[in-house]
Structure 1
Amino acid sequence: MDDLWDDITKLSAVCRKAGEHLPDEELKALQVGKVAEEAGEAMHALYGLKGLTTCGDAHSWSEVQNDLVGAVIAALPAMHYIDPEGARATFEEIFHRRTRRGREAAAAS
């Protein structure tokens, strides 16, 4: 996990440099928008996979996965933009809380 967060920190720095002409709050908002865009691409690929799109594009599960990874890659720098010093701890705390609930719900079933 250390390598991942090291990479996210580096990616965040590159992206911040590219957007240095923008106010910080706008850069954060644009990065959150990028998460939504990537998630939308995953949905588009899923629709195409299921034949539910009118654009005629055929898709595969690997394309859906590719776009999901894109959403994760966009989300982690967004978290880093919001709180560069605490993004990892925040992620780990929320991840633990959400997966703990899932484990508890599964054990109760």
Structure 2
Amino acid sequence: MDRRSDVDTLWDNIEKLSAVCRAAGAHLPDEELKALQVGKAAVEAVHALHGLKVLTTCGDEHTWSEVQNDLVGAVIADLPAMQYIDPTGARATFDEILHRRTRRDREAAAAV
């Protein structure tokens, strides 16, 4: 499977996940649902750091593998949050920002 197909599959899954989550929160106003999803994304990232620093309520230190698990949870929460904010433009916005943020890295790699 080529890279483009992987990205297509990722966004197809994000759209499906977003639809399920939107249905679960259908009783909430749209702006509140967006804010809650963005908050969920932030909490996932903070949880990764707290686990690494043994600040979780369970008191167990996280391994780097567990931190990676939490970070993937943050990504999984982040992409539907983007979908909530702009259902028709989330993917294009993601692609644009990814391209812009990685431009210098691509240029540096090409110079080597």
Q: Same fold (TM over 0.5)?
A: yes
Alpha-carbon spacing, 1:54–1:94, altered in 2? closer, same or farther (3 Å): closer
Distance in structure 2 (CA, Å) of the matches to 1:6 and 1:59: 31
Distance in structure 2 (CA, Å) of the matches to 1:33 and 1:63: 21
1:29-48 paired onto structure 2 within 5 Å: 29-48=35-54
Residue 71 of structure 2 corresponds to residue 68 of structure 1: yes
Corresponding residue for 1:17? 23
2:15–2:80: 8 Å Cα contact kept in structure 1? yes
Corresponding residue for 1:83? 86
Aligned-pair distance for 1:58?
Answer: 2.3
Aligned-pair distance for 1:47?
Answer: 1.1
Q: Which runs of 5+ in 2 are unaligned?
A: 1-6
Give the share of equivalent positions with the same residue, in percent. 77
Aligned-pair distance for 1:107?
Answer: 7.3
Aligned length: 105
2:15–2:83: 8 Å Cα contact kept in structure 1? yes
Aligned residues: CA RMSD: 2.0
Q: Which runs of 4+ in 1 moved over 2 A?
A: 53-56, 101-108
TM-score of the pair, normalised by structure 2: 0.84
Q: Name which of 95, 98, 107 aligns with 2:98.
A: 95
Q: Which runs of 5+ in 1 are unaligned?
A: none
